[in-house]
Amino acid sequence: EVQLVECGGGLVQPGRSLRLSCTASGFTFGDFAMSWVRQAPGKGLEWVGFIRSKAYGGTTEYAASVKGRFTISRDDSESIAYLQMNSLKTEDTAVYYCTRDTYGGIFDHWGQGTLVTVSS
Amino acid sequence: DIQMTQSPSSLSASVGDRVTITCRASQGISNYLAWYQQKPGKVPKLLIYGASTLQSGVPSRFSGTESGTDFTLTISSLQPEDVATYYCQKYNSAPRTFGQGTKVEIK
């Protein structure tokens, strides 16, 4: 069974940093791209970014709203994807979901999400 | 960037009704369109990909069609468990943009 478990969320002040982790199990992690999607309270889904598998260069793409502040990385030996968030803003407050990204951008499995609150 | 516009933003229908949600892409995306269902307080779930391919385990009352840059999600007979917000998402290229969502309620 595919499982994705996020951790690392919490309350952080504007301008500070936070790193989220997504631990995967139930599939060959290194064969898949991984995406992060967020959802602000009471709002819709917003794609944050993704990291390709090593077979496709392990490169990353980001939404314009987070480019230059957020970085996605992966540790295939541990089956973990990371979302490093720097220079956080109040508008980054959201539940952050880790997703398995398959067939070039279909999110077929989602984690339970972790809440990030950016507030002074 | 390509924009994804869903309509309506919300709807209320009776059990057994046929429900249709539309998603329009601002440019061509071929059939690189997925639909997700998010029930209240729950994690989003993939329903359809490739504009019309039903994800394994999804009830057959859900279907998707494509006509140029217009995409439609249809629930043939609305059930109480279908109360949710539905999102389209394009994946032909980055950014993998979502529509703004359509909230479906029971009348």
Q: Give the mean pLDDT of A10-17.
A: 98
Residues of chain A found within 8 Å of residue B3, distances taken between Cβ atoms: none
Q: What is the 3-state secondary structure (H, E, C) of chain A?
A: CCEEEEECCEEECCCCCEEEEEEEECCCHHHCEEEEEEECCCCCEEEEEEECCHHHCCCEEECCCCCCCEEEEEECCCCEEEEEECCCCHHHCEEEEEEEEECCCEEEEECCCEEEEECC
Task: Give per-residue burial for B49-62: e unless 16+ CB within 10 Å, then b.
Answer: bbbbebbeebeeeb
pLDDT > 70 fraction of chain B, expressed in percent and rounded? 100
Question: Is the pLDDT reported for residue A116 higher than 90?
Answer: yes
A47 vs B87: CB contact, 8 Å cut-off? no
Min Cα distance B55 → chain A (Å) is: 9
What confidence tens digit (pLDDT) does each residue in B22-66 have?
A: 999 999 999 999 999 999 999 999 999 999 999 999 999 999 999
Q: Which of B96, B102, B103 to mutate to test the interface with A (most CBs of A within 10 A)?
A: B96
pLDDT (tens digit per residue) in A61-93: 999 999 999 999 999 999 999 999 999 999 999
The distance of A81 to chain B (nearest Cα, Å) reads 18
Closest residue to A45, CB basis, from B1, B32, B98: B98
pLDDT score for A103:
85
- Do B96 and A50 lie within an 8 Å CB cutoff? yes
Interface membership of A97 toward B (CB under 8 Å) = yes
Residue A104 confidence (pLDDT) above 90: no
